Amino acid sequence: MTRERDEFATKAKKPDRQKTYDEREERAKAREAAVEKVDPAEARIGVAGTHVFHVPNCPLLQDVPAGDRIQFTSKWDGVDAAYKPCPECRAMQ
């Protein structure tokens, strides 16, 4: 009786590794589809201290340290975060 029980126990503990891997891959693909794609032309950079957002090549961003910059995926994300557009680089256009 113990031999049958041992065989059953070892069979039950072996996971199907390929099936587990395939399931993880499917879940990862589903998450990728949910990620918003960012258009570099739409990206904006906000400055935490001033609550103003700029286009990435705005000259006013040159002296802003990387730790004070906030990435926005679009100008509307900046507006939603209560940031104002930069009047010099016309960040809303």
The pLDDT tens digits of the residues spanning 8-32 come to 555 556 678 888 888 988 888 877 7
State the DSSP string of 19-32: HHHHHHHHHHHHHH
Q: What is the pTM of this model?
A: 0.59
CA–CA gap between residue 58 and residue 89 (Å, rounded): 6
Spans of the chain below 50 pLDDT: none
List all residues 6 or more positions away from 77 whose beta carbon is below 8 Å from its beta carbon. Answer: 44
pLDDT reported for residue 8: 58
Q: Considering only the C-alpha atoms of the chain, give the largest distance between any 2 of them, rounded to a whole number of Å.
A: 84
CA–CA gap between residue 20 and residue 24 (Å, rounded): 6
Alpha helices in 14-92, H assignment, sequence order: 17-34, 75-80
List Cα–Cα distances, 13 to 10, 46, 49, in angstroms.
5, 53, 56
CA–CA gap between residue 76 and residue 82 (Å, rounded): 10
